[in-house]
Amino acid sequence: MNKEKLMAIIEGILFIYGDEGISLMELETVLDHCKPSEIKSGILDLEAKYKNDDSSSLAIQKFGINKYRMQTKNDLHEWFAKLEVVQSQSKLSNSSIEVLSIIAYKGPITKTRIDDIRQSDSSYQLYKLKDKKLIRSIGKDEENNRANLYSITENFFKLFNIVGGKESLPKISDEEIAEEVEKNRNSNEVNGKDIFGENVFFGEE
């Protein structure tokens, strides 16, 4: 088997095994007609090929005990991280946007206060927003039975393309937020970009 074909087979195997990776011993079992030294050379050649090819996003990581897996190059991670933001934006429900907007304008804030403003339980929405890394717990409210205090993350500003941080958001009272939540819930027109795209609440001045 020539060098190029061996590299292609190793590349395909690494792709199929994904994050789990494959050990050198397992590769030797699959490529039983190749010497262990040839397989090692094939891995090193493939690694060098990726490293020297600026048009390739791939790299090979060695981990554990002689295990290998395919991954993206470290210097490109900031671009791939943006996918998480895009995915978060496309999957936010209206109720999650309600909770997110309340935390953005009034945070750090407890769940109890969020529920009071919305007049609805927010447990599921908080779970989803934390899972999407749009909010986080930053401590405890000592005056409210040490309840978690929620605040927005940097991903929030990336998601809605807001420059200037939280200071760029207008000051809004609990009553104003509650009114807008109710109005937009009834009209079913809540939209994340409308809420934050122009630094206004639910698209209104």
d(CA 127, CA 178): 21
Q: Where is the domain boundary, 18, 42, 72? A: 72
Q: Where is the domain boundary, 50, 72, 94? A: 72
Domain span at residue 49? 3-72
Task: Supply the mean pLDDT for the chain.
Answer: 82
d(CA 136, CA 158): 15
The answer to whether residue 177 sits within a structural domain is yes
Mean pLDDT, residues 11-35 taken together: 93
Question: How many domains, in total, are found in the chain?
Answer: 2
Task: Give the CATH number, domain containing residue 121.
Answer: 1.10.10.10
The answer to whether residue 51 sits within a structural domain is yes
* Model pLDDT, residue 151: 92
Question: Per mean pLDDT, which range of 51-65, 100-114, 142-156 is the poorest?
Answer: 142-156
Does residue 148 sit in helix, strand or coil? strand
Report pLDDT digits (tens) over 31-82. Answer: 999 999 999 999 999 999 999 999 999 999 998 888 999 999 988 877 776 6
* Model pLDDT, residue 74: 85
- 134 lies in the same domain as 49: no
Enter the tokens of residue 46.
């493939």
- 121 lies in the same domain as 66: no
71/170: higher pLDDT: 71
197/71: higher pLDDT: 71
d(CA 108, CA 87): 25
Residue with tokens 């005056």: 143
| Cβ within 8 Å of residue 101, ≥6 positions away | 177, 181, 195, 196, 201, 202
- 92 lies in the same domain as 60: no
| Helix/strand number for the chain, H first, E second | 10, 5
- 144 lies in the same domain as 86: yes
d(CA 53, CA 56): 6
- 104 lies in the same domain as 134: yes
Q: Does 13 score more than 90 pLDDT?
A: yes
The answer to whether residue 54 sits within a structural domain is yes
With both helix axes pointing from N to C terminus, report the angle between 94-106 and 111-118 in degrees, rounded to the nearest 10.
120
d(CA 148, CA 56): 44
The answer to whether residue 43 sits within a structural domain is yes
* Model pLDDT, residue 203: 35
Residue with tokens 């997110």: 100
Question: Per mean pLDDT, which range of 65-74, 142-151, 168-177, 185-194 is the poorest?
Answer: 185-194
Share above pLDDT 70 across residues of the chain, in percent, rounded to a whole number: 82
